[in-house]
């Protein structure tokens, strides 16, 4: 996604701008426009694309992180989360706690 493409947002529909950005980026991740492990454009690039300030971008990316769609690495950028579960092992390891920590729902099925 390069160049000077500007994504127009609907400022009159009652949906917060940051939420529209979050929804747009989530859709691009889900449709694999951004692939697993791929770095998202910088805050400055996203701010230019959506014609908003960087704080609005931070809020949108923060929500993507909360949803488990991206991981934010201090000083490096934001990356589309790989479908990998980091599993901490300790004296009292609990499957459900590890799964919930990754913003996923634990479950199972009998084969």
What Rg, from alpha-carbon coordinates, does the chain have? Answer: 16
Do the Cβ atoms of 102 and 86 come closer than 8 Å?
yes
Q: Whole-model pTM? A: 0.70
Mean pLDDT for each 10-residue chunk of the chain (111 residues)? 72 93 95 93 97 97 94 94 71 76 73 78
| Rounded CA separation 97/47 (Å) | 35
- Classified by CATH at the fold level, domain 17-82 comes out as Arc Repressor Mutant, subunit A (1.10.10)
Residue ranges per structural domain of the chain = 17-82
């Amino acid at each position: 996604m390069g160049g000077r493409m500007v994504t127009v947002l609907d400022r009159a529909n009652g949906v917060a701008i940051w939420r529209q950005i979050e929804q747009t980026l989530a859709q691009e991740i889900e449709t694999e426009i951004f692939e697993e492990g791929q770095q998202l454009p910088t805050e400055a690039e996203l701010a230019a694309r959506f014609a908003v300030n960087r704080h609005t971008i931070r809020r949108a990316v923060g929500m993507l992180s909360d949803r488990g769609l991206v991981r934010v690495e201090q000083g490096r950028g934001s990356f589309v989360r790989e479908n990998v579960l980091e599993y901490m092992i300790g004296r009292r390891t609990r499957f459900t706690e590890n799964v919930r920590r990754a913003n996923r729902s634990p479950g199972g099925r009998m084969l």
